[in-house]
């Protein structure tokens, strides 16, 4: 399973990368705005700064919702760095754009996916990644993890190359369950990844080891 961090904060990206487990980054206009990044030039410069930190897979989202606009933006984003994956919304023109980018050799991440049917369309069009939003589905009393299971099963049935990227991952158990279900990638906040480090028995065991060492050393 690949770990992506869902943020535009450079310090958080560096921290996750330094941990040695980071495989990529996902961003969106809301995350850029949260960091005070606005204007095309500044946004693209920020994407380049992210690419300079990580090894690959930086999802950069188009703003346009029409085919021509998405193609223009996507090409410009792809020029920033070969690590860029163009993030495209699950709408009709988005599916057309994904097919276009696929034929041009530009990787894509189909975002805002909330059904197995949408995931099938994205895979048929040639998306590199499909992003089902499990947390947002949970918010409306639908089991987001069930959707991950459905998509993984369907993709396995037909050998689709599209990777299942579980998005809107809210906590560490979400991540663990996605791993159990066979998601190829999870994208989540830094706290979800670092949350995997924590266990009370690890803390108490380490404290005991250190106390025993101190005692044996006569401290």
CA triple 56-148-63, angle to 5 deg: 50
Distance of alpha carbon 90 from alpha carbon 65, whole angstroms: 10
**Mean pLDDT along residues 113-125:** 98
Please check whether residue 205 is in contact with residue 198, taking contact to mean a CB–CB distance below 8 angstroms. no
The verdict on whether 48 is a catalytic residue reads no
pTM of the model: 0.93
**Quick check: 83 and 57 in contact, CB under 8 A?**
yes
CB 16 within 8 A of CB 204: no
Active-site annotation holder among 14, 42, 79, 87? 87
pLDDT in tens, 6-40: 999 999 999 999 999 999 999 988 899 999 998 98
Q: Is the pLDDT of residue 164 over 90?
A: yes
User: Which tokens in the block code for residue 202?
Assistant: 């690890």
Question: pLDDT tens, 89-103?
Answer: 999 999 999 999 999
Q: C-alpha distances in angstroms, 85 versus 50, 119, 133, 191?
A: 12, 17, 18, 24
Q: What is the mean pLDDT of residues 51-68?
A: 97
Supply angle C-alpha 100, 102, 108, rounded to 5.
105
Q: Per-residue pLDDT averaged across 115-121, rounded?
A: 98
CA 57 to chain centre: 9
What per-residue confidence (pLDDT) applies to 108? 98
Mean pLDDT, residues 180-199 taken together: 95
pLDDT over threshold 90, residue 217: no
pLDDT tens-place string over residues 172-189 = 999 999 999 999 999 999
Query: Can you tell me the distance from the alpha carbon of 130 to that of 144, in angstroms, rounded to the nearest whole number?
Result: 14
For 90, list phi and psi in degrees, rounded to 5. Answer: -80, 80
**How many other CB atoms sit within 10 Å of the CB of residue 103?**
10
pLDDT at 208 over 90: no
Task: Give pLDDT, residue 144.
Answer: 96
């Amino acid at each position: 399973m690949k770990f992506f961090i869902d943020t535009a904060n450079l310090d958080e990206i560096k921290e996750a990368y330094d941990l040695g487990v980071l495989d990529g980054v996902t961003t969106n206009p809301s995350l850029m705005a949260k960091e005070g990044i606005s204007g095309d030039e500044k946004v693209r410069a920020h994407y380049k700064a992210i690419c300079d930190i990580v090894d690959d897979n930086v999802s950069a989202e188009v703003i346009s919702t029409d085919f021509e606009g998405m193609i223009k933006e996507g090409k410009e984003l792809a020029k920033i760095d070969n690590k860029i994956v163009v993030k495209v919304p699950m709408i009709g023109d988005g599916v057309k754009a994904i097919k276009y980018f696929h034929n041009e050799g530009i990787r894509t991440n189909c975002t805002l996916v909330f059904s197995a049917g949408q995931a099938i369309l994205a895979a048929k069009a040639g998306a590199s990644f499909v992003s089902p939003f499990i947390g947002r589905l949970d918010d409306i009393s639908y089991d987001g993890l069930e959707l991950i299971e459905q998509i993984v099963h369907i993709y396995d049935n037909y050998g689709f190359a599209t990777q299942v990227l579980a998005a809107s991952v809210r906590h560490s158990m979400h991540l663990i369950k996605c791993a159990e279900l066979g998601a190829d990638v999870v994208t989540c906040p830094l706290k979800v990844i670092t949350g995997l480090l924590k266990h009370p028995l690890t803390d108490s065991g380490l404290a005991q080891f250190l106390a025993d060492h101190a005692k044996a050393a006569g401290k």
